[in-house]
C-alpha cells in the first residue's frame, strides 16, 4: 500500500450502477483507484438492466464482478436493488469503505445512513453525469475522465490516511562570530583613505528645443456591453451543460462515433434513464436543440438516428 492508502476497519466494497456508469474503461479505472486508496476490494457488484450489463460484460468478467440484474418491470429498479444490498452488506459484513459507481443524486439518503453507521463512502462518476449537489454527501468524490483543470478529477478527501514518517531535523549551523577588532580596523582604513576627486567633464552645448507636437484627439469611448441578468446567464449555462451531457451519452452508444444509424427508441430510453429527457418532452425537438447536426429518419416519425460528432 502507498503512503496515502486508507487502512479500513472492515472489507472494501464497490457497487456499480451500470445504468449510470456504463463505460467499461470507467469501471476499470474506478476499481484501480479504489484499490490504491483502500487496498484489496473484496466485494464487487454491478447492478443494471440485462442490456447495460451485457455492454460491460468484458470488464465485469475480467475483474470478477457479481452481476445483479434488475427486475423486468416498467419501472427501473436498479437504484433500489443497489441501496438494499448496501444496507445488507453494512449489517452482515460492516465494510470499512463502500464505494458507489454512479452520478445519480437518488443515493444521497443511502450515503447519509452509511455515514451514520461509520462507513466511509466514495463516489466514482463521469464528470458529465455527476449531480453537483451531492458532492458533500460523500467522504470522497472521484470524477473519472475529467481534465486536469480547476475542476480537479478528485475532490478533496476527508478519509484518514497513514501519516508519513517525520523527516530528521537538519543539523543546526553555528554562525561564525565576527571579530570586532578586525571590523573596526577595516572601518578605520576606509575612513583614512580619501576619496578621489571626480574629473570635470565639460557640459555639452544646449540642444535646440524640439518642435511642439500637436496633441492627438482622444479616442472615442468604447460602447458598454448590454447588461446580462444573472438569471439569464444561469439559464444559458444550464442549457449548455445539458447539451454537453446529451452529446456525451450519444458518443457512448455503439456505432454513433462511426457514423452508423442507431435506434431512435433506444436513444430515447437511455436519455430518460439518465434523467436528461422529461417524460412529456418531444424527442425530435429535444435532439435538434441539444445535438447540432443530428439526422432523423424519417423526419415525421423518426425510427433511426445518425450523428457525426466532432472530437470530444
The residues, any chain, with a CB within 8 Å of residue 18's CB and separated by 6 or more, are 46, 47, 48, 49, 52, 53, 55, 56, 78
CA distance 95 to 11: 5
Look up the CATH architecture of domain 12-144: 3-Layer(aba) Sandwich (3.40)
User: Which of 128-132, 154-158, 276-280 has the highest average model confidence (pLDDT)?
Assistant: 128-132
Chain segment 213-250, per-residue pLDDT in tens: 556 566 666 555 555 577 777 777 788 887 888 888 88
Residue 251 — very low, low, confident or very high, per pLDDT cuts 50/70/90? confident
| Residue 126 bridge partners (DSSP) | 144
Task: Tally Cβ neighbours within 10 Å of residue 179.
Answer: 9
pLDDT at 203: 53
Amino acid at each position: 500500500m502507498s503512503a496515502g492508502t486508507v487502512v479500513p476497519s472492515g472489507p472494501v466494497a464497490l457497487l456499480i450502477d451500470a445504468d449510470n456508469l456504463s463505460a467499461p474503461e470507467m469501471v476499470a479505472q474506478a476499481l484501480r483507484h479504489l484499490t490504491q486508496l483502500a487496498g484489496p476490494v473484496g466485494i464487487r457488484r454491478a447492478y443494471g438492466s440485462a442490456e447495460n450489463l451485457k455492454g460491460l460484460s468484458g470488464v465485469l468478467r475480467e475483474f470478477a464482478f457479481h452481476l445483479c440484474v434488475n427486475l423486468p418491470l416498467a419501472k427501473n429498479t436498479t437504484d433500489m436493488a443497489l441501496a438494499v444490498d448496501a444496507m445488507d452488506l453494512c449489517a452482515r459484513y460492516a465494510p470499512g469503505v463502500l464505494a458507489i459507481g454512479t452520478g445519480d443524486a437518488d443515493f444521497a439518503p443511502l450515503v447519509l445512513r452509511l455515514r451514520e453507521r461509520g462507513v466511509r463512502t466514495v463516489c466514482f462518476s463521469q464528470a458529465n453525469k455527476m449531480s453537483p449537489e451531492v458532492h458533500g454527501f460523500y467522504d470522497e468524490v472521484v470524477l473519472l475522465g475529467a481534465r486536469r483543470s480547476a475542476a480537479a478529477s478528485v475532490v478533496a478527501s476527508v478519509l484518514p490516511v497513514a501519516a508519513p514518517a517525520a523527516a530528521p531535523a537538519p543539523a543546526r549551523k553555528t554562525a561564525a562570530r565576527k571579530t570586532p577588532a578586525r571590523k573596526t580596523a577595516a572601518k578605520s582604513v576606509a575612513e583614512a583613505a580619501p576619496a578621489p576627486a571626480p574629473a570635470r567633464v565639460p557640459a555639452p552645448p544646449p540642444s535646440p528645443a524640439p518642435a511642439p507636437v500637436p496633441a492627438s484627439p482622444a479616442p472615442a469611448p468604447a460602447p458598454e456591453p448590454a447588461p446580462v441578468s444573472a438569471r439569464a446567464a444561469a439559464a444559458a449555462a444550464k442549457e449548455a451543460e445539458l447539451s454537453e451531457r446529451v452529446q456525451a451519452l450519444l458518443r457512448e452508444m455503439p456505432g454513433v462515433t462511426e457514423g452508423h444509424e442507431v435506434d431512435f427508441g433506444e436513444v430515447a430510453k437511455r436519455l430518460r434513464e439518465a434523467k436528461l429527457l422529461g417524460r412529456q418532452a418531444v424527442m425530435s425537438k429535444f435532439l435538434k436543440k441539444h445535438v447540432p447536426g443530428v439526422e432523423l429518419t424519417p423526419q415525421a416519425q423518426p425510427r433511426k438516428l445518425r450523428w457525426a460528432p466532432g472530437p470530444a
